[in-house]
Amino acid sequence: MTKLSVNINKIATLRNSRGGNVPDLLKVAVDIQEFGAEGITIHPRPDERHIKYQDAYDLKPIVTTEYNIEGNPIADFMDLVLAIKPTQVTLVPDGNDVLTSNAGWDTITHQSFLKEVITDFKDNGIRTSIFIDTDLKLIEGAAETGADRIELYTEAFASQYEKGNTGAVKPYTEAALLAHDLGLGINAGHDLNLENIQFFKQNIPNLAEVSIGHALISESLYLGLQNVVNMYLHRLQ
């Protein structure tokens, strides 16, 4: 079964644009879970452009499904996650100035750092996931770090699929097969949407979770949030 974790960053983007509390991030998170989503994902960035660090604390008591916090493990992020103890932390090698996440980890160059950080989170009962590309050497490196899971960075698949190149899923299938053989759980995310999700799911064995935000929130503007969540759940069956 593949769980749907809805990334609510863009709800916070809309809320912040007027400085008040509309839309109410916490209410949206409650509703998304009531609509059937199996998780809530946030990505508090150092500039707090959308999710603020306080949001991460405020969400903890109301996320009754799986709570996934994504980010670069800088000191402030480490402190935040260790204080909140979400279900899962997803490590993303983002620079402070990126428009959005644009790369996976080099799990070979940064192996000792990742091992240290992952040990810290695991010692605190937090499931760990590493945002990663499909390079098989990097998948092997991820297994060496002691991470529980990988999150396949799906931007390359999504952009090629949109151009009709269905073969772009092949590296992801191969990466998932290797990851499973190495004992890694398999998550995926970034630019997944209603058009590509079913094909992706059908080609990724043992896909445990997808985290989807930008497209899902945008699609909801036309189709309604409850309807879109259920469309994703249906396509993930």
Ligand X SMILES: CC(=O)[C@@H](O)[C@H](O)COP(=O)(O)O
Ligand Y SMILES: NCC(=O)COP(=O)(O)O
- Is residue 9 close enough to count as binding ligand X by CB under 6 A? yes
| Spatial distance between the Cα atoms of 4 and 124, rounded to a whole number of angstroms | 24
- Applying CB under 6 A, does 101 fall inside the site for ligand X? yes
Count Cβ atoms within 10 A of the Cβ of residue 112 and give its class: 0-12 exposed, 13-18 middle, 19 or more buried.
Answer: exposed
What does 129 bind: ligand Y, ligand X, none (CB cut-off 5 to 8 Å by kind)?
none
Residue 33 binds to ligand X (criterion: CB under 6 A)? no
Mind telling me the catalytic residues?
43, 70, 190
Q: Tell me the closest approach of the beta carbon of residue 12 to ligand X, in angstroms.
A: 9
Closest approach, Cβ 221 to ligand X, in A, equals 16
Q: Which stretch binds ligand Y (CB under 6 A): 14-22, 110-118, 133-141, 210-218?
A: 210-218
Pattern 13-52, binding to ligand Y, x per CB under 6 A? ----------------------------x-----------
Q: How far is the CB of 214 from ligand Y (least distance, A)?
A: 3
**SS3 string of the chain?**
CCEEEEECHHHHHHHHCCCCCCCCHHHHHHHHHHCCCCEEEECCCCCCCCCCHHHHHHHHHHCCCEEEEEECCCHHHHHHHHHHCCCEEEECCCCCCCCCCCCCCCCCCCHHHHHHHHHHHHHCCCEEEEEECCCHHHHHHHHHCCCCEEEEECHHHHHHHHCCCHHHHHHHHHHHHHHHHCCCEEEEECCCCCCCHHHHHHCCCCEEEEEECHHHHHHHHHHCHHHHHHHHHHHCC
Of residues 138-197, those binding ligand X (CB under 6 A)? 189-190
Annotated binding site: 7, 18, 45, 50, 100, 191, 213-214
Told to check if 44 binds ligand X by CB under 6 A, we report no
From the list ligand X, ligand Y, none, pick the one residue 59 interacts with, judged by a Cβ distance below 5 to 8 Å according to partner type: none
Q: Whole-number minimum distance, CB 54 to ligand Y, in Å?
A: 20
177's tokens: 């097969």
Which of 8/168 has CB closer to ligand X?
8
Q: Which residues bind ligand Y (CB under 6 A)?
A: 7, 41, 70, 151, 189-192, 211-215
- The site for ligand X (CB under 6 A) is made up of 7, 9, 43, 70, 92, 100-101, 131, 189-190, 213-214
